[in-house]
Structure 1
Amino acid sequence: MADRGRPRAFDRALALRCAMEVFWEHGFAGASMSDLTAAMGINSPSLYAAFGGKEQLFREAVDLYRETDGGYTERALSEQPTARRSIEAMLRDNAAAYADDTTPRGCMVVLAGSTYTTRNTAIRDFLIEKRGHTTDSVRARLDRGVAAGELPADTDTAELADFYVTVLFGLSVKARDGAELPQLQRSIDRAMSAWPTEVRA
């Protein structure tokens, strides 16, 4: 039986994009069902029919974010020719996106679960897992840099990955607090000055 509450021209992809922006701006806990349905142009029964509920909608929205607006990290790590250039591009590209006022400021994966209760620990754990994937990806890129002779053989890539991911996530928080791109760039300059002495150019 057709869902009478759903518009005939229901565009699931567009509705998901709209939901993503609500979650990005307000976080999981702060995004009410009325906020979501208003942005998506559907009613609550239609939301449940299309996405299974708020939590599943959020999970899909996070995956969409990582594939689109939040995809700078993976692109930098895979496309840049050296480990150093990968890390620097990751920081600078994300900083520019975080400070862009045409979208909500900061990183959705960092900020959307900053407040939670015992009722949504599953969301907290989901976001912790996603952030952990970022750290793992950075460490893997640093490991490749060690293997290529771009970093000293004794580089602690786990520690270095933690450091640069902490900088990355901190840039997100600063951007949400209103920091403009030049300030974020200065922090990146300082972070890159901590890069280990390279074995070769």
Structure 2
Amino acid sequence: MPQRNRGRPPAFDRDRAVLDAARLFWRRGYSGTSTRALTASLGLSTSSLYAAFGSKAGLFEEAVRTYAERYREIYEQAVAEQDIRTVVERVLTDSVHEFTRPSDVHPGCLSSSAAMTDSTSTLDTSAYFAELQDSNERALLARVERAIQDGELTAGTDAAALTGLVQSVWHGLSTRSNLGATREDLLATARLAHELICRQLTPPAL
């Protein structure tokens, strides 16, 4: 009998696998997401999952780092801007665009997900995210301090207070996004906040 040609197995899409896994982890937490649920969602066998990611813990850590690190990139790009007003604008508006990316390319915001209260033995998610936020805040604070030194802002500007205000707005936007606010609503809020902040940043008269 002629031998039937077997169809080629679908190509493994690592990015898609990490996204699908992140959705489960964000919704159920690490402990609440079984290996069986992961293999069913990703379309992989248990052996294939372990071959690709080492373990369930390895997949979890890759998902957390993949989607949390995007916010570090946003801050790094923002503080590189030459004008402090553009820095503040980009921190807020670029973050809104990240919060509200389509669900087919983004699992949702980690900051209020079930994964934040559940961790692997090697990655404390809450501690990791807190460190990431602290790193972002330090980068913004350093940029504000430089703006004061360079004369972009008045000498009496409280760098820590200004940084704290921007961070508070950021967290509010993140929370509202998780509650279902639209991108348009969040951008309107971010732009108004930016405008109000900039009114307080009048540089010294030449």
What TM-score bracket applies, with the shorter chain setting the length?
0.7 to 0.9
* 8 Å contact kept, 1:18–1:40: yes
Indicate the residue corresponding to 2:46 in structure 1.
44
Cα RMSD, aligned residues only: 3.3
Indicate the residue corresponding to 1:149 in structure 2.
151
Indicate the residue corresponding to 2:77 in structure 1.
75
Deviation at residue 191 of structure 1 after TM alignment = 2.3
* 8 Å contact kept, 2:71–2:95: no
Deviation at residue 179 of structure 1 after TM alignment = 0.8
**Structure 2: where are the runs of 5+ without partners?**
1-8
How far, CA to CA, are the matches of 1:33 and 1:52 in structure 2? 12
Q: How does 1:27-176 map to 2 (within 5 A)?
A: 28-29=29-30, 31-66=33-68, 71-78=73-80, 80-102=81-103, 103-104=105-106, 106-108=108-110, 110-112=111-113, 116=117, 122-176=124-178
In the alignment, residue 83 of structure 1 is paired with which amino acid?
A: I
- Structure number with greater Rg is 2
In the alignment, residue 50 of structure 1 is paired with which amino acid?
A: A
How far, CA to CA, are the matches of 1:167 and 1:31 in structure 2? 32
User: Percent same amino acid among aligned pairs?
Assistant: 30
Deviation at residue 128 of structure 1 after TM alignment = 1.4
- CA offsets 1:43-78 (integer angstroms, 9 cap, x no match): 334333432333332222233224558743332222
**Structure 1: where are the runs of 5+ without partners?**
1-6
How far, CA to CA, are the matches of 1:159 and 1:62 in structure 2? 30
Indicate the residue corresponding to 1:194 in structure 2.
197
The two structures have a TM-score, normalised by structure 2, of 0.72
* 8 Å contact kept, 1:27–1:111: no
- CA offsets 1:100-157 (integer angstroms, 9 cap, x no match): 444457533x233575259878222122112222212221221222222112233332
- CA offsets 1:162-186 (integer angstroms, 9 cap, x no match): 2212211221121121111232133
How far, CA to CA, are the matches of 2:204 and 2:29 in structure 1? 46
- When the two structures are aligned, how many residues end up with a matched partner? 192
